[in-house]
Amino acid sequence: MKFEEALQIDVFDAFVNAAPFSHYMHTSTYAKFKQLEDKCTVYYTGLYENNEVVATAIVLEYKEPLVGSYMYVPCGMCMDYSKLDLVDAFTNELVAFAKKHDAVLLKIDPNVLRVERTLIGDIVEGGINNEHITEHLKQLGFTHRGYNYAYDGSMRNRYTLIVDTDKPFEDVLKNMPKSKQNYFKRQSKMAITVTEGGKELAKELAIYAKELADIQHFTPHTQAYFEMLINAYQDMGHTYVCTIDFGKQIALYEAELQSGKYKKDLEARAHCEKDLEKTKEYQKQFGNIAVLGVAFYVAFADKSYNLFNYINKELTMFRGTDAIHYNVIQDMMKRGVKHYDLVGFSGLIDKNDLYYGLYDYKKTLGPAYIEHIGEFDYILKPTSNSINKGYLSFRKTLSRIKRKLQKS
């Protein structure tokens, strides 16, 4: 086998685009965005066998004060991990590559399922189990971070939820609760629309990201960030906006009340009357057209990834997030998407978990529970690595203090 530390981009992309085990983080598009975002150095590496590319890896080099640099392979190597001889060959080459560049460590987080689970987190008896790959990487000299909580400081969340969209849309809906199915039927007849836009939606993404950040106490991305994101992903990126026309919605409510639909259901009539009055108030507050939510997706091969999804917190009664998913799932299916990735949750099915609400909502879309094997470090310089970990920890603490001071 032959290692190549600078594959031509077209050769690199051709392999990743065709690989059934690839992820959008394996693409040159992702690498170019990280180069812009993090100011890191990017290497497009690969492994040849009989003059054919059999594996690729984006290597990001981060230079840090005091110790030099460390290297990170996002989403691990793009390769068939069931071929352990290939795993051995490529990891050995990448370790040698990291040594050549005098890095303190090499970090990987393979896109490999740990164990097959039910939606409520139970291990499927006799299901897929790849824990032997974890053990194999440890035997090769890697230190495993562990099968930990999602938000443990890892570079990438090892949990996600993925909706199977390789079937008719009606069958996708059948996996969702009746209440959601009923809402979708109703929403399709409301004055709510979801349309795809471009860089002009960066402003809305920033506005509603800040709204969420103020509630959950994190630093939101800026409009400039979202503009850079949309520009960088080009055809792979898809930005959606969900809006409501209050004038039309008011007319729809009034027509329902006049139709005799609620003649025998006074409770439903009262509910509709309440919605009508509330909508009139919103029309006075926001004008005739208002944004209910915005979202940014990446579509790659037969997969899509919901990277950002924000809603207008003042208009939650119209369920903008549901409307976005209902419309975008159908749009992605038209693009050939078979795996609709909801991108991340804590991994805990516990109502006491701080982020349980994220899981509780996403599970209503009928996804599969996905747990990856996690993060691995090949430590090349133990002392320098310890210094670097201390420095990065100090920098995170300082950043948190600055955020608190800014909010006080």
**How far is residue 169's CA from residue 171's CA, in Å, rounded to a whole number?**
5
pLDDT at residue 140 tops 70: yes
Average pLDDT of span 267-294: 96
| Percent of the chain that is helix, strand, coil (3-state, to 5) | 45, 25, 30
pLDDT-derived band at 234 (thresholds 50, 70, 90) equals very high
Domain segments of the chain as ranges: 2-153+373-407, 160-238+292-370
What's the pLDDT at 215? 78
pLDDT at residue 404 tops 90: no
pLDDT-derived band at 407 (thresholds 50, 70, 90) equals low
What's the pLDDT at 154? 93
Mean pLDDT of the chain: 93
Q: Rounded to 5 degrees, what are φ and ψ at 301?
A: 55, -125
pLDDT at residue 388 tops 80: no
CA distance readout (Å), 229 to 197, 283, 307 = 14, 32, 11
pLDDT-derived band at 361 (thresholds 50, 70, 90) equals very high
What's the pLDDT at 291? 97
pTM of the model: 0.93
For 273-286, write each residue's pLDDT tens digit: 999 999 999 999 99
CATH topology of domain 160-238+292-370: Aminopeptidase (3.40.630)
pLDDT at residue 314 tops 80: yes
pLDDT-derived band at 66 (thresholds 50, 70, 90) equals confident
What's the pLDDT at 384? 76
What's the pLDDT at 394? 65
Identical topology for domains 2-153+373-407 and 160-238+292-370: yes
What's the pLDDT at 147? 97
Q: Which CATH class name applies to 2-153+373-407? A: alpha beta
Q: Could you tell me how far CA 234 lies from the centroid of its own chain?
A: 17
Dihedral angle sign, alpha carbons of residues 381, 383, 386, 391: negative
- What percent of the chain is predicted at pLDDT more than 70? 96
Residue in this structure with the two tokens 């199977």, named with its chain if needed: 164
For 91-124, write each residue's pLDDT tens digit: 999 999 999 999 999 999 999 999 999 999 999 9
What's the pLDDT at 405? 53
List all residues 6 or more positions away from 138 whose beta carbon is below 8 Å from its beta carbon.
Answer: 144, 376
